[in-house]
């Protein structure tokens, strides 16, 4: 039983390390999917071991974790984008008002 669990983790480790070799850093969605798969497979293997089929539990848990992690990562990416856009807008407004204030100061003198 322990050997089956180890095989599943080795396969996940190989798949994860292969995915990490893409050359670019992982985005938030990919990180969520990777973590979700790892945690889901681990939890599924533990639960599956209790019922006598850790491999099946790891597969089901990994697939469920993949979908859940990717959805959470996608939501977090959306939040990051909104935060970036908001910060950019605030910087633009500050710059605009600073110019206006400088023009006003020069006009008053």
pLDDT in tens, 76-85: 999 999 999 9
Mean pLDDT of 47-68: 90
pLDDT at 10 over 80: no
Is residue 91 assigned to a domain? no
Instruction: State pTM to two decimals.
Output: 0.62
Is residue 100 assigned to a domain? no
Angle between helices 54-108 and 28-51 (to 10 degrees): 160
Cβ-in-10-Å burial (0-12, 13-18, 19+) of 31 comes to middle
Alpha carbon 43 to its chain centroid, in Å, reads 19
Domains in the chain: how many in total? 1
Is residue 96 assigned to a domain? no
């Amino acid at each position: 039983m322990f050997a089956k669990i180890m095989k599943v983790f080795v396969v996940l480790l190989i798949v994860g390390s292969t995915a990490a070799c893409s050359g670019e850093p992982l985005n938030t969605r990919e990180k969520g999917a990777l973590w979700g798969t790892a945690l889901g497979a681990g939890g599924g293997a533990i639960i599956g071991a209790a019922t006598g089929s850790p491999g099946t539990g790891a597969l089901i848990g990994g697939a469920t974790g993949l979908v859940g992690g990717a959805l959470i990562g996608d939501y977090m990416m959306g939040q990051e984008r909104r935060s970036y856009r908001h910060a950019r807008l605030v910087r633009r407004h500050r710059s605009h008002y600073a110019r206006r204030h400088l023009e006003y100061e020069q006009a008053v003198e």
